[in-house]
Structure 1
Amino acid sequence: MDKLIFLDIDGVISTEKSRYALDKDACDLLGKIIDATDAKIVVSSSWRRNTVEDTKEELTTVRDFVPFPFPYADRIIGVTIRAYAYVMQGIHLAIPRGVEIKQWIDTHIHSDNGKNWNEKVVGVDFDYVILDDDSDMLLEQAEHFVKTDTRLGLTEDDAERAIKILNQ
């Protein structure tokens, strides 16, 4: 069974404590989740780039906000679309991140690119967890969502909950 982590970075593994650079303790907790579940990562953060390769480069090139290479770059298999907003005549309509995640699941989870999706079953064919400090997920994603504290990032309790979701 496929196991996926939809990973936001700011407020999850980049924290106030680390001055919004990658936080080693939070990254270690992400590693705990990966070790316990063998999950792959889909980056749903504003840190994502247009391609997986560009995103890996963004996360592994050491600079101020990346004080060490992201240790799980080899686990990144995807990035969600950027459906930020629709602006027309001065009206801003936000697109929830949950929609970006649903689009990725619907078109990438299986090699058939979403064909026969009605035959795919969460918990049978795949499981996923969303790690994010924002709440703009879809109702159908509620049982897969671990909301982190923006200031603290990923905590031990969050990691345990994510492991439980992925290994149910």
Structure 2
Amino acid sequence: MPRPVLFLDIDGVLNTQKHNTQIYFEPRLLARLKIILEATDALVVLSTFWRAFHEYICYCFHRHKIDVAHHMLPLPMGATRGKQTTEKWRHYHRISQLEKGLSVETGMIGRTSEDDKEYDCRAEEIEAWLKEYGQMYLGGCGGTGDMNTNESFHPSNWKYAILDDRPSAAKANTPLYERFVLTETGKGLTEDDAKKTIELLRLGPCR
């Protein structure tokens, strides 16, 4: 059976800050993430501003006893295609991609997590991931959805959830919104949020 997928933000989910200048995790919130992953056997896709630091995030998760080899998808499928990167990281990424013989995507340079405009297209980034990798990880097109329309672009039986503290992570009246758990920045991932996420990953949205 296909495993469910969790699209994961960090700031406001795994910590209680909105505009961090570095990656920061609160152990009690990571413990709740661990419960979610173990209860659902979910695969994690980073949809956070910090997605460029996939390896370091995996290291931090590992230090908190999360089985990253089992739950973290590798790049490129392990993160949505975001544009929030630094110039130095873009330089490193550009060299790494060229050395591997891969194409280099252009992106906005020098942005920060404080710029709300950077998040206007996060829902579209998640939709793009689902269109590119959904059949591979969530199963075939055996549902009622239509992959070619914006209103219902995938089978209704795909199981995934979105954890984010920004409303822009999911658009109303789309499949994403039915699978969206909006956290409160000052609280982060609560027990109720974790319970709802588990239900979505196990059962899908209620009909």
Q: Provide the residue aligned with 2:190 in structure 1.
A: 155
Question: What is the 5 A alignment of 1:94-109?
Answer: 95-109=120-134
Whether the 8 Å CA contact 1:59–1:70 is kept in 2: the answer is: no
Q: Would you say how many aligned residue pairs link Structure 1 and Structure 2? A: 148
1:122 to 156, 177, 180: 156
Rounded to whole Å, the distance in 1 between the matches of 2:42 and 2:201 is 8
Instruction: Give the partner amino acid of 2:10.
Output: I
Q: Secondary structure at the match of 1:21?
A: coil
Contact 2:9 2:48 in 1 (8 A): yes
Q: Is the 8 A contact 1:59 1:69 kept in 2?
A: no
The AA in structure 1 aligned to 2:171 is L
3-state SS of 2:199 partner: helix
1:8 Cα shift?
0.2
Partner residue in 1 for 2:164? 132
- Would the alpha carbon gap of residues 167 and 60 (structure 1) be closer, same or farther in structure 2, given more than 3 Å must change? closer
| 1:59 equivalent in structure 2 | 57
Give the secondary structure class of the aligned counterpart of 1:2.
coil
In the aligned structure 2, how far is the partner of 1:144 from the partner of 1:23? 24
1:147 positional shift: 0.6
> Which 4+ runs in 1 deviate beyond 3 A?
83-86, 92-95, 115-120
Deviates more, 1:75-84 or 1:153-162: 75-84
Normalised by the length of structure 2, the TM-score is 0.62
The 2-side partners of 1:30 and 1:160 are apart by 11
Show the counterpart of 2:40.
Answer: 37
* Inter-partner Cα distance in structure 2 for 1:93 and 1:156: 30
Q: Which has the higher strand share?
A: 1
Name the CA distance, whole Å, in 2 between partners of 1:107 and 1:14: 30
Q: Shift of the alpha carbon at 1:21?
A: 1.9
Q: Secondary structure at the match of 1:36?
A: helix
Give the structure with higher Rg (CA): 2
- C-alpha root-mean-square deviation of aligned residues, in Å? 3.0
Residue 6 of structure 1: how far off its partner (Å): 0.1
1:68-107 matched pairs, under 5 angstroms: 68=63, 71-74=66-69, 75-77=71-73, 78-83=78-83, 95-107=120-132
Q: Is the 8 A contact 2:27 2:64 kept in 1?
A: no
* CA drift at 1:111: 3.3
Q: 2: CA distance between counterparts of 1:73 and 1:29?
A: 15
